[in-house]
Amino acid sequence: MSKEITITAANFDSEVAKASVPVLLDFWAAWCGPCKMIAPFIEQIADEYDGKIKVGKINVDEENELALKHSVSSIPTLAVYKNGELVFTQAGALPKNQIENLIKQYI
């Protein structure tokens, strides 16, 4: 079972801003090919790093306000929060090892 959390405007503060561990956010949409390509990597990372990081998925079609707040103009976009602060954001599909290298610096 995947450890990914669906992030919404309603739970953003409790799940991301007040998280006790770094949070990797995946901004995605069902129609996005590159989003589908990295989805298995995001799920694997959520499982493999459970307890060290939290992984959240934000559907930009359903949570447009969160996408606008994060200036998401293309998807997939990955964002990392640590101690309630946005510390990294990058648009585009990445291979699993690059996503892992990205989060390791914040663990």
Catalytic residues: 32, 35
What single letter denotes the amino acid at residue 28? W
Q: How far is CA 63 from the centre of its chain?
A: 13
The two tokens of residue 70 are: 């994060």
What single letter denotes the amino acid at residue 46? A
Residues 6+ apart with CB under 8 A from 41: 94, 95, 96, 99
Of 76, 71, 87, 74, the residue nearest 23 (C-alpha):
87
As beta bridge partners, residue 25 has: 56, 79
The two tokens of residue 104 are: 């390791």
